[in-house]
Structure 1
Amino acid sequence: MRGMGNMQGMMKKMQKMQKEMMEAQEALNAQQFEGSAGGGVVKVIINGQREILEVNLDESVVDPEDIEMLQDLIVVATNDALKKVEETTNSTMGKFTQGLNLPF
């Protein structure tokens, strides 16, 4: 009979942890992250679900003669924002999955 109490307690702890994980993931998904390149002339804003919300370009970076540079800057800014999402996700969700080797 005593083992059942331990099992119920463990189940309650798991349910609580699952609820906390879901709340943390929802908060991450709603958060916005900004990546930039070229000293801030290109900015990309994404959310925690890795969806691009905005791309902001300074007029000075728009040169019809050098489209490749602008494309490169957009890629760099996007990757910068994605890196910030990844780092924040790892630090936030890592406390729940520590040692479990689970995907987010």
Structure 2
Amino acid sequence: MLGNMTKILGQMQQLQEQLKKLTVEATAGDGTVKIIMNAQQNVLAVRFDPDKAGNIGPEALGQMIIEAFNEAQAASKAKAREEVTKVTGLNLSSLPGLF
């Protein structure tokens, strides 16, 4: 039993490392804002297209950041669920709030 638990903990540690490396990108405002996030929902970069962002007011730009973030977060959670399912064989999509 203890050996099995050690194996599971090792797999979970490997999974955490994999999730750090997997990235998703989301854009808003027709490419004005781009957010890059890993599968642990950590924002790695926020980028702006200077040609498009220069003509936009702060409120509109803020809204685009929110849209891109929410889209990236949803994609990140989906990617994490997919990886957890691969490693564990469990479909966790039916557990709300987990991912």
TM-score past 0.5 threshold? yes
RMSD over aligned CA atoms reads 2.5
Q: Does 1:15 align with 2:6?
A: yes
Q: Which amino acid in the other structure matches residue 62 of structure 1?
A: G
Alignment of 1:1-104 (within 5 A): 10-59=1-50, 60-63=52-55, 66-95=57-86, 96=88, 98=90, 103=98
Write out per-residue CA displacement over residues 35-64 of structure 1, whole angstroms, 9 at most, x where no aligned residue. Answer: 111222210112233222211111213335
Q: Which runs of 4+ in 1 moved over 3 A?
A: none
Bigger-Rg structure (1/2): 1
**How many aligned residue pairs are there?**
93
Distance 1:90 1:99, change over 3 A: closer
Residue 6 of structure 1 is matched in structure 2 by: none
Runs of 5+ consecutive residues of structure 2 not aligned to the other structure = none
Percent of matched pairs sharing the same residue: 30
What are structure 1's unaligned runs of at least 5 residues? Answer: 1-9
1:43 & 1:99 partners in 2: Cα distance? 30
How far did residue 20 of structure 1 move?
Answer: 1.4
Note closer, same or farther for the CA distance 1:73–1:99 as it changes in structure 2 (3 Å cut). closer
Which segment is superposed worse, 12-21 or 85-94?
12-21
State the alpha-carbon separation in 2 of the partners of residues 48 and 62 from structure 1: 31
- The structure with more helix, counted as a fraction of residues: 1
AA paired with 1:52? V
What TM-score results when the alignment is normalised by the length of structure 2? 0.73
Contact 1:42 1:77 in 2 (8 A): yes
Deviation at 1:97, TM superposition (A): 7.5
